[in-house]
Amino acid sequence: MMMAAALSDARQRPQTVVRRWDRAGGGHADLGMELPPRSLRLNPSRVPKARLLVLLSLGLLGFAGHSATADDSPFPGPRGAGLDLASRADIWDRPPTNFLERFVRVSRDQVVAFALYTHDAGVLKMTAQLFPLRPGEPREVRLEFKQGRQWREVAKAPVIYPGWSAHFRIPAWDNTRDVPYRVRHGDSAMFEGLIRKDPRHKDEIVIASLSCDSNADRGDRREIVEKLLKQNPDLLFFAGDQSYDHCEHTAAWLLWGHRLKEVLKDRPVVTIPDDHDIGQGNLWGEGGIVADSEAGDSGGYFYPPKYINMVHRCQTWHLPDPVDPRPVAQNISVYFTRLRVGGIDFAILSDRQFKSGPKGKIPQMGLRPDHIHQAGYDPKAVDRPGLQLLGDRQMAFLNAWGQDWAGAVIKAVLSQTAFCGAVHLHGSKTNRLLADLDCNGWPQTGRNQALAALRRALACHLCGDQHLAVVVQHGIEEFRDGPFGFTNPAMVNSYYGRWWWPADEKPGQRPIPGSPLPWTGDYLDGLYNRITMMAYANPELGDMRAMKASQRDPSVNLGDGYGLIRFNKRQRTITFECWPRYADLRRGDAAQFPGWPITIKVEDNDGRRVTGYLPELRVLGARDAVVQVIREADGEILYTQRIAGRSFRPRVFGPGTYTVKVGRDTPEGWTARGLEPVSTAAKPLTVRLP
């Protein structure tokens, strides 16, 4: 029998050992494992006054007489004392006092809550999420596969506390067959699902894109689950804010998975945490430093790294191994990686983790360091040298990923938030904000560098966070010269609404022909980034009180729901769909938000104006080869793409000479230098690949 392998040495070490951060950059991340303490009591006298008021208002201190000192908490220090109280090991010593504490106390045949998995490059990874275990119950789960009519145990894994998760890593995975699985605990608890074979033979691969599951609505998500089961996506992507219960990640995560388990269980799932998942209203991770407040605008993480790593472990362990697993400061883990599903190659980013915080680094132009109200400001004043967005490590990954097309026909990038500020009104229709530095539109230089990397790979961008569904085409040097981005709507939009509402209520230049929406076309966002608004889904109500009161009224448009993205490999197209939470699928596309669906060609993700073409390439020895074009004047890679068929005319965007490389999965099999744009009558070049 094979024991489940650990992701890193940190997960294999004795659970009572705590490692310190190696400031030289070595070592492994502390993933938040330890044996359950004997008692967990919160002592209000040990909690800072402001924090105590928050805990009291949320009902998180439990009942009179229940207390836990910071020393007893699984998360060190005063900031860790009030974390994850609803899922602590000692909850069985006291009666429940709030919704989450009641929710996590399930019958013992239900303790395996759900499971998440992905498989890539011959490795299956799975996370099993458990409800809190009672003292004396086994701290181990078993993974079984069905072979014929028999179930066979293939692995065991320890249940890790805090977080109550268990993890399986199965090498030499055969992704050409469907495999039923079940995760078992004890004699009666079980969670069953299906590990799908890779859908490589399908012409169309469908991904569902979701985020922002408001905790103002504690009910089920049946209206979303039922539609997803009918639409049957090949991959589920959750872009963050699976939890809005800042200090109760484990219980809120369990609630999220419980609501969605019927659609989670039978397909690969990508989950990435955003700011609310790790307990902050906003996050500028700044390489893992310590934030000076829960606002986070100084940069860094407010809560202990053990809490952050627990969130990362529960939400991202099942993803393919990180491409660069070195932890950041405070030994906080990273998870940026790639996942290929059916020939669609997804780069998965952690777009907050390395980003600079604005406080003290740029002039403050609003009531908060991250808000700009000052019209007519110089955008260079906030785009200062040294400010980071994705960081050097993720940019290096993106640049390498864009040139490696093994197992890929089309590429896309998944991350938390948008590379622009496509929002005008925040929280209510009376609150206009010029710019919000929480978005990836800032810093602008980092934004443009990231978008240029996507453009070189003809990759679109999928994200969440903004609570407002939009499709934009980004501009870098000019309008419409960059890739497309689709920000999905909030699953439940009763936490914080936003609206696209230009102050002059006029369309931009070159509005989208035939659009039913009044404000499409070319705009500058509040950070002076170029964007072309293709579609947006504004809520019909104007403030959060009204939106919360109507959050379960199917007749009211709150702008919530989810996205579907269809990648057609044969036609090389991408279709963006946007479905309201209470849409009736029987109405077909008429049930989508106005302005959707939107279909683009993959090559539209590079919108630069073509000025000429190099000689036609005729490839012998391979179909659908990979072609790369390099501008010789400065060595810049213009693009790398997988062509369709055996012939291709490389496009260029200016005069000069160019190098062209061709290969099967990387552009390494054939090279021609000194090529110039030519007429269509020019003699083709024969490319022979070994």
Judged against a pLDDT cut of 90, whether residue 19 lies above it is answered with no
3-class DSSP assignment, residue 341: strand
Taking residues 510-520, report their average pLDDT. 98
For residue range 315-348, what is the model confidence (pLDDT) as tens digits? 999 999 999 999 999 999 999 999 999 999 999 9
Residues in a beta bridge with 155: 2, 143
**Could you tell me the fold of the domain covering 112-195?**
Immunoglobulin-like (2.60.40)
Angle between helices 305-316 and 249-264 in degrees, nearest 10: 10
**Tokens representing 293?**
């407040």
For residue range 354-372, what is the model confidence (pLDDT) as tens digits? 999 999 999 999 999 999 9
With contact defined as beta carbons under 8 Å apart, do 113 and 131 qualify? yes
Query: How many residues are listed for the chain in this entry?
Result: 690
The residue ranges of every structural domain in the chain are 112-195, 204-239+335-414+416-605, 612-688
Cα 302 from Cα 464, distance rounded (Å) = 22
Taking residues 84-98, report their average pLDDT. 96
List the 140-147 sheet strands across, edge first.
2-3, 150-158, 140-147, 179-185, 189-195
**Residue at token pair 């934009």:** 472
State the pLDDT at residue 680: 81
* E-state strands within 218-336: 235-238, 269-271
Judged against a pLDDT cut of 80, whether residue 2 lies above it is answered with no
State the pLDDT at residue 33: 38
Q: Which of 311, 310, 306 is nearest to 275 (CA)?
A: 311
Least confident range of 1-15, 84-98, 285-299, 658-672 = 1-15
pLDDT classification of 681: cutoffs 50, 70, 90: confident
Judged against a pLDDT cut of 60, whether residue 47 lies above it is answered with no
With contact defined as beta carbons under 8 Å apart, do 301 and 291 qualify? yes
With contact defined as beta carbons under 8 Å apart, do 179 and 194 qualify? yes
Considering the chain, what percentage of its residues have pLDDT values greater than 90?
89
Judged against a pLDDT cut of 80, whether residue 38 lies above it is answered with no
**Residue at token pair 């104007």:** 542
For residue range 217-255, what is the model confidence (pLDDT) as tens digits? 999 999 999 999 999 999 999 999 999 999 999 999 999
With contact defined as beta carbons under 8 Å apart, do 227 and 233 qualify? no
Judged against a pLDDT cut of 60, whether residue 393 lies above it is answered with yes
Taking residues 14-31, report their average pLDDT. 30
DSSP structure class, residue 42: B
Backbone region of residue 656 per phi and psi (left: phi > 0; alpha: psi in -120 to 50; beta: other values): left
Provide the residue type at 471 as one letter: V
Please provide the average confidence, as pLDDT, over all residues in the chain.
91
For residue range 538-588, what is the model confidence (pLDDT) as tens digits? 999 999 999 999 999 999 999 999 999 999 999 999 999 999 999 999 999
For residue range 447-468, what is the model confidence (pLDDT) as tens digits? 999 999 999 999 999 999 999 9
Taking residues 273-292, report their average pLDDT. 97
Judged against a pLDDT cut of 90, whether residue 70 lies above it is answered with no
Do 612-688 and 204-239+335-414+416-605 fall under one CATH topology? no
State the pLDDT at residue 1: 36
State the pLDDT at residue 42: 34
* CATH 1.10.10 describes domain 204-239+335-414+416-605: no
Least confident range of 51-55, 390-394, 677-681 = 51-55
Cα 133 from Cα 68, distance rounded (Å) = 19
Angle between helices 222-231 and 249-264 in degrees, nearest 10: 40
Least confident range of 15-19, 98-102, 371-375, 684-688 = 15-19
Residues in a beta bridge with 120: 123
Considering the chain, what percentage of its residues have pLDDT values greater than 70?
90
State the pLDDT at residue 72: 75
Compute and round to an integer the Cα radius of gyration of the chain.
25
Provide the residue type at 687 as one letter: V
State the pLDDT at residue 50: 37
What is the 3 state secondary structure string of 493-535?
Answer: CCCCCEECCCCCCCCCECCCCCCCCCCCEEEECCCCCEEEEEE
**Tokens representing 669?**
């099999």
**Could you tell me the fold of the domain covering 612-688?**
Immunoglobulin-like (2.60.40)
Cα 535 from Cα 554, distance rounded (Å) = 22
State the pLDDT at residue 625: 98
Backbone region of residue 611 per phi and psi (left: phi > 0; alpha: psi in -120 to 50; beta: other values): alpha
With contact defined as beta carbons under 8 Å apart, do 330 and 305 qualify? yes
Q: Which of 154, 184, 179 is nearest to 169 (CA)?
A: 154
With contact defined as beta carbons under 8 Å apart, do 299 and 147 qualify? no
Cα 205 from Cα 224, distance rounded (Å) = 20
3-class DSSP assignment, residue 148: coil
**Residue at token pair 């890929």:** 408
Judged against a pLDDT cut of 90, whether residue 400 lies above it is answered with yes
Q: In this structure, how many other beta carbons lie within 10 angstroms of the beta carbon of residue 363?
A: 13
Cα 231 from Cα 586, distance rounded (Å) = 12
Task: Indicate the pTM of the whole model.
Answer: 0.91
Q: Which of 220, 306, 230 is nearest to 261 (CA)?
A: 220
CA–CA distances in Å: residue 337 to residues 415, 446, 659 = 11, 19, 29
**Residue at token pair 């890739």:** 483
Q: Which of 219, 239, 235, 279 is nearest to 466 (CA)?
A: 239
Taking residues 429-445, report their average pLDDT. 97
Judged against a pLDDT cut of 90, whether residue 482 lies above it is answered with yes
Taking residues 141-162, report their average pLDDT. 97
State the pLDDT at residue 71: 56
For residue range 115-142, what is the model confidence (pLDDT) as tens digits? 999 999 999 999 999 999 999 999 999 9
